[in-house]
Amino acid sequence: MASHGNGASIPSPYVELDRRDWARLRESHPMHLDAADVERLRGLGDRLDMDEVEQVYLPISRLLSFYEEATARLHQVTGDFLGERAARTPFIVGVAGSVAVGKSTTARILAELISRWDSQPRVDLVTTDGFLYPNRVLEERGLMDRKGFPESYDRRALLRFVSEVKAGRAEVRAPVYSHLIYDIVPGESIVVRQPDVLIVEGLNVLQAPRPHANGRAGLAVSDFFDFTVYVDAHLSDIRRWYTERFLSLRETAFADPTSHFHRFSTLSDDEAVRTAQEIFDSINAPNLVENILPTRSRATLVLLKGPDHTVDRVRLRRL
């Protein structure tokens, strides 16, 4: 219950379960992944293991399958009401959270589990970094230190992309971002062809629509989502994970001479930690606090991670 100044309290729309109670909700939902799959899907620095897939992600997969069926029925009802033959529309899942919280692993594991449902849906996964403006535009607008902030994205293009996929357009393209060159890859795109399920992963996917100049609210990508997941953790833990990942990247991705961050590959441990903390504190933490965290209360499901990067509590919206 949330308490108000006048003493009255409003009921929370969420129920919160610890991992043990959540794990029971898997019931008989089958496990189709093996240790090699989990290893392949795990992002750098993440701790995902078979136990976590079974205890945390299989119940989510089961719940998502119920949502998918119910959403398809609801869509059919609207079609019947309109006297139309309802065209198929994909079930869209949004995955939000801070930089370095492990959204990509969550999105990848969900995509893999969904694709193994009995109905064998075709699942596509897109990350919103492809909709960042190219560095040339960010430079012109003085936004190079704001990568990941809402204004660093071409939000219209992202909205058009998601709405066209939802509308069942035969082929929809998304641009591609590369961490290696730290920019949009010129001429490259990914093509989405009428998937049954689309997962959209990114920092700001739960953002509410912005009001137009005339005061009328517009649309946001979140208006097209059927289910949303927010991956949550304490800021101090995320900061540590970001720093640890930066240290690992120094020996891998940054070692590549074509990497935008190549200059960081020769930093000492102390210098690398300081650099990572500076980037985190000046860009990623303010973005988390000002823009991302305020969208958490819009999620259908919140995964709460402990200091060791594993999910230890789950909050599900039931109202």
Ligand X SMILES: CC(C)(COP(=O)(O)O)[C@@H](O)C(=O)NCCC(=O)O
Q: Does 193 bind ligand ADP (CB under 6 A)?
A: no
Name, in order, each residue with C-beta under 8 angstroms of 118's C-beta and a sequence gap of 6 or more.
Answer: none
Q: Binders of ligand ADP among 172-191, rule CB under 6 A?
A: 179
Q: Does 202 bind ligand X (CB under 6 A)?
A: yes
Longest CA–CA span in the chain (Å) reads 68
- With CB under 6 A as the contact rule, the residue among 55, 61, 89, 104 that binds ligand ADP is 104
Q: Is 200 annotated as a binding residue?
A: no
Ranked by CB distance to ligand ADP, the top (closest) residue is 104
Closer residue to ligand ADP in complex, CB, 62/305: 305
Q: Does 148 bind ligand X (CB under 6 A)?
A: yes
Q: Does 292 bind ligand ADP (CB under 6 A)?
A: no
Spell out, one character per residue from 262 to 291, where the chain touches ligand X: x when CB under 6 A holds, - when not.
Answer: -----------------x---xx-------
Q: Is 97 annotated as a binding residue?
A: yes
Closer residue to ligand ADP in complex, CB, 65/228: 228
- Judged by the rule CB under 6 A, the positions of this chain that interact with ligand X are 99, 127-129, 147-148, 202-203, 279, 283-284
Which spans of this chain sit near ligand ADP (rule: CB under 6 A)?
43-44, 97, 99-104, 179, 249, 253, 261
